[in-house]
Amino acid sequence: MAPSTHRSNPLPPARRLFLKRRAPVVGVIAALLCGLLLFVANGAAANSRIKDIADFEGIRDNQLVGYGLVVGLQGTGDSLDKSVFTRESLIGMLERLGVNARDVDLDTENVAAVMVTATLPPFARQGTRIDVEIAALGDSESLQGGTLLVTPMLGADSDVYAVAQGPVAIGGYTATGDAETVSKGTPTAGRIANGAIIEKEVGFELASMQSLKIALRNPDLTTAGRIAQAINAHIGSPAAMPLDPATVELQVPLGYSGNVVGLLTEIEQLSVKPDDIARVVIDEGSGIIVMGDAVRISTVAIAQGNLTIRITETPQVSQPQPFSTTGDTVVVPRTDIQVDEQSDHKLAVVPAGVSLQELVNGLNALGIGPRDMISILRAIKAAGALQADIEVR
């Protein structure tokens, strides 16, 4: 049998022409989509969520503090004759427990007075536990092995919001011998994980609020306006309005009445581009310089150099010839003076409107260190060529 010569029907000429023209069009569309994705990615990278740059009214922590006693120490507690507050606190605690120790000469080094601190989370409920930090108040050497007795934790209004108690865990130690002492960390400070029980809640009815305020962590008029615009665009009504550079007021829409939590959940995920402030921060102590991306300078010429004079004395001893009857041994001075005018440092012109990277590259090209750079930045600011604020710390 002869082989089959059957072949599928070729595409019509018009169809082939359409595919030939379609191929480059598809490539162009793919390239445009890739470019669009890169543009969106770059734009999104510069944005920040509202929850990362602002705080909502009422959703905040509260600081708690208390004073207590740590017992069970192995002779590393306070000296009662030096720490009077520890002695009086110990006597008062024993009297509350029915033990009269007022007329007794107490001599123990197993007790230490401590300050107890904690952070009360927002909307924390009664019965939940929080961590506490312990720090010695007297001359205690270590809190290792100690137990904190019942300690009321007070808020700024002097009310008791939590009660702390439990064994103290420290992250350091001290070993002392006759000739040497080894210490690691801070043995007079520790913590108790879940060491306090919340006894009182901070009253705040978030769900029933009709309006609330959004506080910017870095106040700025432009950023506040952008936050309000993003919220209004998402809700579809003018519900947000900036009151000042640090505050945006939000009116709860009718559709979210009784569902403020749902509204804030949507708002905190909105992306906003914070506006940068042209600022140069200088730390005099460490020589650290931090400049924002918005820093710009006008046309200015910069030269940096110091005159260095080095004087080296290398005296030599001059002696007469051996067995000579004339001449004396004398010291001949030899002085070497070197002058370095740093002529290799030239005058550099920095053009107007340069970016932060160009400014740094120009200063580095002059071989300028951090200390000299601080002086140069101050001189540029004094000349009126630096469009930024200088903050010295």
Specify which residues 129 forms β-bridges with. 197
Separation of alpha carbons 107 and 177, rounded Å:
24
Torsion sign, CA atoms 46, 51, 56, 59: negative
- Residue where one domain finishes, among candidates 139, 167, 198: 198
Side chain identity at residue 171, one-letter code: G
pLDDT of residue 40: 39
Claim to verify: residue 117 and residue 136 sit in the same structural domain: yes
pLDDT bucket at 61, cuts 50 / 70 / 90: very high
Neighbouring residues of 134: CB distance < 8 A, sequence distance ≥ 6: 70, 114, 115, 116, 143, 148, 168, 189, 190, 191, 192
pLDDT of 272 strictly over 90: yes
- Residue where one domain finishes, among candidates 198, 228, 243: 198
Claim to verify: residue 70 and residue 191 sit in the same structural domain: yes
Determine, yes or no, domain membership for 266.
Answer: yes
Claim to verify: residue 173 and residue 253 sit in the same structural domain: no
Average pLDDT over residues 326-344: 65
Spatial contact of 253 and 237, defined as CB atoms under 8 Å apart: yes
Specify which residues 250 forms β-bridges with. 212, 240
pLDDT of 37 strictly over 90: no
Neighbouring residues of 14: CB distance < 8 A, sequence distance ≥ 6: none
Determine, yes or no, domain membership for 259.
Answer: yes
pLDDT of residue 206: 85
Torsion sign, CA atoms 119, 122, 123, 129: negative
Determine, yes or no, domain membership for 322.
Answer: no
Claim to verify: residue 250 and residue 370 sit in the same structural domain: no
Specify which residues 391 forms β-bridges with. 281
Determine, yes or no, domain membership for 182.
Answer: yes
Token duo for residue 174: 């001290």
Claim to verify: residue 267 and residue 296 sit in the same structural domain: no
Determine, yes or no, domain membership for 325.
Answer: no
Closest CA to 151 of 163, 137, 138: 163
Separation of alpha carbons 329 and 204, rounded Å:
96
Claim to verify: residue 115 and residue 144 sit in the same structural domain: yes
Greater confidence (43 vs 210) lies with 210
How many domains are there within the chain? 3
Q: pLDDT above 90 covers what percent of the chain? A: 40
pLDDT bucket at 120, cuts 50 / 70 / 90: very high
Residue with tokens 């890169």: 38
Q: pLDDT above 70 covers what percent of the chain? A: 73
DSSP string, 81-126: TT-HHHHHHHHHHHHHTT---TTS----SSEEEEEEEEEE-TTPPT
Residue with tokens 């930045």: 377
pLDDT of residue 26: 41
pLDDT of 308 strictly over 50: no
pLDDT bucket at 306, cuts 50 / 70 / 90: low
Average pLDDT over residues 319-328: 72
pLDDT of 296 strictly over 90: no
Separation of alpha carbons 231 and 217, rounded Å:
18
pLDDT of residue 189: 93
pLDDT bucket at 345, cuts 50 / 70 / 90: low
Determine, yes or no, domain membership for 252.
Answer: yes
Claim to verify: residue 264 and residue 288 sit in the same structural domain: no
Claim to verify: residue 151 and residue 220 sit in the same structural domain: no
230-258 pLDDT, tens per residue?
999 999 999 999 999 999 999 999 888 88
Closest CA to 253 of 262, 60, 335: 262
What are φ and ψ of residue 214, in 5° steps?
-110, 120
Average pLDDT over residues 73-93: 90
Separation of alpha carbons 151 and 116, rounded Å:
8
Side chain identity at residue 321, one-letter code: Q
pLDDT of 294 strictly over 80: no
Token duo for residue 195: 């060491």
Average pLDDT over residues 163-167: 97
Token duo for residue 65: 């503090």
Average pLDDT over residues 307-330: 67
- Residue where one domain finishes, among candidates 169, 198, 227: 198
Average pLDDT, the chain: 79
Range with the largest mean pLDDT of 97-106, 164-173, 340-349: 164-173
Length in residues, the chain: 393
Separation of alpha carbons 126 and 221, rounded Å:
40
pLDDT of residue 14: 43
Claim to verify: residue 311 and residue 187 sit in the same structural domain: no
Residue with tokens 């749902």: 262
Radius of gyration of the chain (CA): 37
Average pLDDT over residues 100-117: 88
pLDDT of 269 strictly over 90: yes
Domain limits for position 84: 62-198
pLDDT of residue 196: 97
Range with the largest mean pLDDT of 120-134, 265-279, 353-367: 120-134
pLDDT of residue 352: 59
Claim to verify: residue 108 and residue 74 sit in the same structural domain: yes
pLDDT of 12 strictly over 90: no
Range with the largest mean pLDDT of 10-19, 153-162, 352-361: 153-162
- 169-170 and 211-216 strand pairing: unpaired
Claim to verify: residue 168 and residue 239 sit in the same structural domain: no
- 211-216 and 279-283 strand pairing: unpaired
> CA separation (Å) from 267 to 74, 235, 263?
55, 9, 6
Determine, yes or no, domain membership for 206.
Answer: no
Claim to verify: residue 267 and residue 294 sit in the same structural domain: no
Determine, yes or no, domain membership for 287.
Answer: yes
